[in-house]
Amino acid sequence: MSKLLLLSARQRFAIWLVGLCLTFGCGPIRLVSAYDAVVDQSVSDLHTKVVAFVNHMQTLAGKPEGTYEANKAAYTEFSAATETLKLRASGDAKNGITVAMVGELQQNLDNLKKLHEKAGDGGLRPDLANLALPGLETSFKTIIEFEIAKKRDGLNQEK
């Protein structure tokens, strides 16, 4: 009797499945989402706006136009941008890492907002801005590097 006939149905199915995979080639298993050019560009654009804002606020420190109250609309825009990024990133079930990183970015932007708000009439002085900037830079850099790594590693099936 053939040895193949002595195998159980489950074992024959497993052999058939392996043969099918070898014949047609099984693609790699993706544990993260594909590169998203929109997320990449949006994070880069938001970084430019935040850096320009912080630099501008430092030059206006101590002046009425540099107070939190005079500039709170900028924080609303930053929050809206991060919410949009989270929405975009959460569109792919395998994008939990990016969603978490955008959450960290949002938290760092909230920290900047709190520093600016608590500074009162003094505005966002350089010493205060320098407390928030390292966290912000790390958040931006991490998201951008992750997207670039996905692109470099062939996960560049853009949406």
What's the pLDDT at 32?
79
Which alpha helices (DSSP H) does 25-125 contain, by range?
A: 37-59, 68-89, 96-118
Rounded-to-integer distance, Cα 76 and Cα 27, Å: 43
Q: For the chain, give the mean pLDDT.
A: 87
Please report which confidence band the pLDDT of residue 19 belongs to, taking 50, 70 and 90 as the band edges.
low
Q: What does the pLDDT average to over 29-42?
A: 85
pTM: 0.79
Which has the closest alpha carbon to 155: 37, 8, 43, 26? 37
Rounded-to-integer distance, Cα 92 and Cα 71, Å: 34
Q: Is the pLDDT of residue 127 over 60?
A: yes
| Eight-class DSSP state of 35 | P
Query: Domain residue spans in the chain?
Result: 37-152
- Topology of domain 37-152, per CATH? Four Helix Bundle (Hemerythrin (Met), subunit A) (1.20.120)
Classify the C-alpha dihedral 94-134-140-116 as positive or negative.
positive
Please report which confidence band the pLDDT of residue 159 belongs to, taking 50, 70 and 90 as the band edges.
very low
32 φ, ψ (degrees, to nearest 5)? -125, 165
Rounded-to-integer distance, Cα 78 and Cα 55, Å: 15
Question: Helix axis angle, 68-89 relative to 37-59, nearest 10°?
Answer: 170
What's the pLDDT at 119?
97
